[in-house]
Amino acid sequence: MYFMGRAMNLHIVLDTNNDYVFDKENLLSTPETINIAGKEIIHYWLEWARHKSYNTLYIYSARSIIDNKKNEMLQDLYGVKIVYQKPFELHGVKFDKDVYQGMGIFLDSGEYHYFKSLDDVFVLEQELIHKPLKYCALVGYGADDAIQVGKNVYIHKSVKFSGAVVIGDNCIIEKDVEIENSVISRGCLIKQRSIIKKSHIDQNIHMNMGLSLNKKALFESSIYDMMKKESYSHEGLCVKH
C-alpha cells in the first residue's frame, strides 16, 4: 500500500471560456452546479475523488459562490475536502498530475469529458441515462434498470414512462403525463397532460399545465432548444413557487 497516507489532490480549473459559455445561456447557476442525469457536476467530481482516493478537491473559479453549509454536507457525504480558490491562487501552486482544465466530468475510462457548450452536456446526459457511470451511485431505484426514481416522489398511476427516465428526489408527477428518455431533476412539479421527450428539466421547476417539450432543456428563466442549439428567455412556462 505505497500510497497509504499520502495526500492526493484533485484540481479542477474552471476557465473564463467555460463561464462565458454557460453565462450566455442565462442559467443563473455556477457551472459546477449544473445538473447532468439528476446530479450536479460537483457530485461527479466528488464521487470520482472518492473512487480514486483523493483527499481534497480544489476548485479554481472566479465566480463560485461558496455555500459553506452545502460544502460541509458534501464533505461529510463523500469524505473528500472541498477547497474553493480564485484562479490567481494557481500561481505558485505545485501541482501533481491530477489537474483538469475546464468544466467536465470523468468517464469510467478515466477520460475527463470536457464540455464546450451546453449542447455537449445534454448529448452526454442522453448517453448517461441509458448507461450510467459505474463509479457513481444511481440517483434512485426502479423495477426497470432504465428508470431511476429518487426519494419522496409522487407519481400518478396514469403517468407513462418510456425509454430511460431519471426522476430526482422530491418530485411530483401529475396525471396523464408522458415522459420519454428524459431527466426530471429534484424538486420538480410536472403538471397534468405534459409531454416530455428527450428533454431535461432543471431542479425546482414547477411546470405549467399541458406543455409539450421535445429536445428542450427547461431552466427557471430560460429554455434551450437542443435542435436549434439556441436559448430563449421565457415567462409563464413555469409556475412561481
Partner 1 sequence: MLDIKREYKNGYTVYNFINTTEPKMLEQLKVMIKNDMNQTYMFMFDFKNVDYLSVDDIKVLQKIYMMSVNYAFEIGIIGLSNQAEMMFEIFQLDQLYSVKKASNVFYGESYESSYSA
- Chain residues that interact with partner 1, rule: CB under 8 A: 208, 210-214, 216, 223, 225, 228, 230, 232, 234-237
User: Nearest to residue 196, comparing CAs of 187, 204, 208?
Assistant: 208
Nearer to partner 1, 10 or 237 (CB): 237
Nearer to partner 1, 30 or 199 (CB): 199
In the complex, minimum distance from the CB of residue 65 to partner 1, in angstroms, rounded to a whole number: 30
In the complex, minimum distance from the CB of residue 237 to partner 1, in angstroms, rounded to a whole number: 7
Contacts (Cβ under 8 Å, ≥6 apart) of 241:
189, 204, 206
In the complex, minimum distance from the CB of residue 213 to partner 1, in angstroms, rounded to a whole number: 6
In the complex, minimum distance from the CB of residue 47 to partner 1, in angstroms, rounded to a whole number: 34
Nearer to partner 1, 5 or 236 (CB): 236
In the complex, minimum distance from the CB of residue 140 to partner 1, in angstroms, rounded to a whole number: 27
Nearer to partner 1, 13 or 183 (CB): 183
Nearer to partner 1, 43 or 200 (CB): 200
